[in-house]
A and B are shown apart, each in its own frame.
Chain A
Amino acid sequence: MTQLTLADEIVVLMLDDTMGEVNQACIAVAGVAIAGGILMELALRENIDTDLKTLFVVNPRQTGDYLLDAILQEIAAEPEQHSSAWWIDQLAVRHDDLLGQILARLVTAGILREEERRFLWVFSRRAYPQVSGREEREAKARLMSVLFNDEVPNPRDTLLLGLARSTDVLSTILSSEQLDKAYDRIEEVAALEEIGRSVGLVSSQIREAMATMLATYH
Chain B
Amino acid sequence: MEITSRIDGDLVHLRVVGSLDASTSPNVEEAVNAAIGGGRRSVIFDLQELNYISSAGLRALLLAAKKAKAAGGGVAVFGLQPAVTEVFTIAGFGKIVSIASNDADARDKLSGQRG
Contacts and interface: CB of A to CB of B under 8 A. Distances in A.
B22 A191 contact: no
Given A59-B22, A195-B55, A152 B90 contact: no
Given A46-B56, A51-B54, A151-B69, 6 more contacts: A52-B86, A58-B21, A152-B66, A153-B62, A154-B63, A155-B62
21 contacts: A43-B56, A46-B56, A49-B22, A49-B56, A51-B87, A151-B66, A152-B69, A154-B62, A154-B63, A155-B59, A158-B62, A188-B95, A192-B58, A192-B62, A192-B92, A193-B55, A193-B91, A194-B55, A194-B91, A195-B55, A197-B90
Q: Is the interface of B mostly helix, strand, loop or mixed?
A: helix
Contact of B22 (A58, A158, A193): A58
Contacts, number: 59
A50 interface: yes
Size band of the interface chain A makes with B:
20 to 34
Interface string A156-197: 001000000000000000000000000000001001111101
A95 B63 CA distance: 32
Contacts of A193: 55, 59, 91
A59 B59 CA distance: 17
Nearest to A192: B91
B65 A152 contact: yes
A192 B21 contact: no
Contact of B63 (A51, A58, A155): A155
Contacts of B92: 188, 191-192
B70 to A, nearest CB: 8
Interface of B: 21-23, 52-56, 58-59, 62-63, 65-66, 69, 86-87, 90-93, 95-96
A133 B92 CA distance: 34
Nearest to A152: B66
A154 B65 CA distance: 10
B62 to A, nearest CB: 6
B21 A152 contact: no
A47 to B, nearest CB: 8
A7 to B, nearest CB: 18
A85 to B, nearest CB: 14
A49 B22 CA distance: 6
A51 B66 contact: no
Nearest to B95: A188
B61 to A, nearest CB: 10
**Leading 8 A-B pairs by shortest Cβ distance:** A152-B66, A49-B22, A58-B22, A191-B92, A194-B55, A50-B55, A49-B56, A49-B54
Interface string A133-154: 0000000000000000001111
Contact of A192 (B54, B86, B96): B96
A109 B60 CA distance: 32
Nearest to A190: B92
A58 B36 CA distance: 28
Interface string A102-124: 00000000000000000000000
